[in-house]
Structure 1
């Protein structure tokens, strides 16, 4: 048997516990089918952790994440948390920063059986820088990236570093080299943000020279939003900074059929974390109607990432099998959750994916 692969499961808030449980159902089926030797552990984050320990992500959870081979994080209700001084840290942002999960990989593709709003098939991946930009909870060594010098003045600081730009560009080109279209598009606003987005483009262009067999172009972020709506199929790998990537990946996911289908992997040099692209949807929590597809797909991405790092073909085979099984379920209206026009519950849909493994 292969060495154990430790996965830390973090439920989060709202629908988080339901879709994390659904994802575990699929992972356990994959473990049984492919002999992965997965070792599951759990820890509490979010409101339950705040109530128990005074912090939405205690130090012990961060230590457990550092020790795990991979993390599966359920959505969190961080907008509703108290101030940071009162323990209301964003678990997602905290883990991205502490584990240096600099690459947020967000695929968006149309699927058989799910009619896309755009009306056209496409298959693209947004490669989003994950550790700086305008994100105030992670772009400073000390203190937030937003300040209010006077009650009626708020200032936000955007940090862009050459190192972060270089490594996200390298991630995008390495990914493009594995895909049939072999095309990278850098999205920016350098016509206005000449220094910060200019630095980002400098590094993208430098990396592009190392990959002469991969097509490379650049698009302004506002034009990119319009062009995705018009014809997302013209794009393959889209690389961009943090905030642009967050917005464009949600747009691409909706164009593919639903944000509920949007898988997401946070990856660094040494750590990987699966995370649904959507939020915690507290209004439907506990009703067994939440769509688990996003987190299941994210877990498949995590297994593939772990398999590549460890040279473990079984992990990569399991990842591909989960993706295939998920696609089969999404093509079957009876097996889908209500948001996709079906009648299945969260756990029922997860069991359907597991059965198809």
Structure 2
């Protein structure tokens, strides 16, 4: 509904630099929503990650799981499950549990070079749409248990799962995004060596794309796609399976400047999670050196997702304010160390906040 909104959103700080970049993103979102006359955000802070192990005995406690079920969206900080106690390292990572529990089947990862940022590809502007529930990732491709197993101590095996239903719904998401951009979609697969699983993915995506006659559709093998991204191929929206999408989106993020700028949204039809593509970066945690750009842009994607479902141009305006403020800050020469600048996390955040508030 158009006009002022009051929205409850979850906030999970996570580990490492998450405790710096997530609070910064909350401040930026609040400022943008207020400046755009979009209403108010009520943030529901929930235990998650290493601190939740200490307070609740679990990195993803029941309290958090139950609360998220009633929220339309949330901001998730990076987590460092590799540093958790051994009994938790052996489990599915908390982020994987969240994606599976709430059916967040679409992982949308844009990568675009911005003025003022040294990029390996200064012309890159691509959105990688990754199927988020199947493939070869063992933490999300089985109803019960793991998709990895060892029949003997010397043999390890993995199950890859591809279903027509999952292919159809991710293809629709990719096509809907492409319609709003340059109207080109590229299906990335490896059907030459995986003719059944990747063949089903390719065939299904092609069939769905026929329902969008304005789109130009082509396809690439994943290895060729990686080479094209590095060399300078012109792509618009890429749709691919889980593992391929994870690898290609990280590559695209680096090509556009840094993983510290790599935004990401995980979404179902009814809920969405803003989650930067980067990790917890424990080596710089607490040093005020982290780049909050990816978290800011991920939060803007969440606002945009909410705006589309609520048909609320004010929320859309808040998302635009954040993106413009980040771009203007970077173009003005204010940047963190990972992209060649001298600004601290807090200095970068304050500059973005000032632009969010004053931008008309």
Superposition TM-score tier, normalisation by shorter sequence = over 0.9
Separation in structure 2 between the aligned mates of residue 280 and residue 85 of structure 1, nearest angstrom: 17
1:103/1:267 contact within 8 Å kept? yes
- Measured against aligned partners, the alpha-carbon deviations of 1:266-287 in whole angstroms (never above 9, x if no partner) come to 0111100000100000000000
Q: Equivalent of 2:56, from 37, 44, 53?
A: 53
Distance 2:52 2:33 in 1: 29
Q: Secondary structure, in 3 states, of the residue corresponding to 2:141?
A: coil
SS in 1 for 2:277: coil
Q: Which runs of 5+ in 2 are unaligned?
A: none
Contact 1:57 1:89 in 2 (8 A): no
Residue deviations 1:178-230 (CA, integer Å, cap 9, x gap): 01x20000000000011000110111111121112200001000000101111
Cα distance between partner residues in 1 of 2:56 and 2:349:
32
Alpha-carbon shift at residue 31 of structure 1 (Å): 2.5
TM-score by length of 2: 0.95
Kindly indicate whether residue 263 of structure 2 is the aligned counterpart of residue 260 of structure 1: no
8 Å contact from structure 1 (residues 82, 88) kept in 2: no
Indicate conservation of the 8 Å contact 1:102/1:268, yes or no.
Answer: yes
Aligned length: 353
**Measured at CA, do residues 291 and 27 of structure 1 come closer, stay the same or move farther in structure 2, by a change above 3 Å?**
same
Structure 1: stretches of 5+ with no match in the other structure: none
Residue in structure 2 matched with residue 121 of structure 1 by the alignment = 123
Q: Distance in 1 between matches of 2:332 and 2:173?
A: 34
Q: 1:218 and 2:219 equivalent?
A: yes
Question: Whole-Å Cα distance in 2 between the matches of residues 31 and 208 of structure 1?
Answer: 35
What residue in structure 1 maps to residue 98 of structure 2? 95
Q: Any conservation in 2 of the 1:260–1:294 contact (CA below 8 Å)? A: yes
The residue that corresponds to 1:43 in the other structure is: 46
Say if 1:165 and 1:279 are closer, same or farther in 2 by CA, change over 3 A.
same
2:271 is matched with 271
Answer yes or no: is the 8 Å Cα contact 2:30–2:40 preserved in 1: no
Structure-2 separation of matches of 1:71 and 1:341: 30
Partner of 1:19: 21
Structure 1 Cα separation of the partners of residues 14 and 230 of structure 2? 32
Q: CA deviation at 1:83?
A: 5.4
Contact 1:78 1:89 in 2 (8 A): no
Q: Residue 191 in 1 paired to residue 196 in 2?
A: no
Aligned to 1:340: 339
In 1, the alpha carbon distance for the partners of 2:109 and 2:88 equals: 32
Relative to the length of structure 1, the TM-score reads: 0.96
Counterpart of 2:137 in structure 1 is: 135
* CA deviations over 1:295-353 (Å, ceiling 9, x no partner): 100000000000000111111010011000000111122x2112222222112211111
Counterpart position of 1:230 = 231
Contact 1:111–1:327 under 8 Å retained in 2 = yes
Counterpart CA distance in 1 for 2:82 and 2:137 is 14
Q: Distance in 2 between matches of 1:128 and 1:82?
A: 30
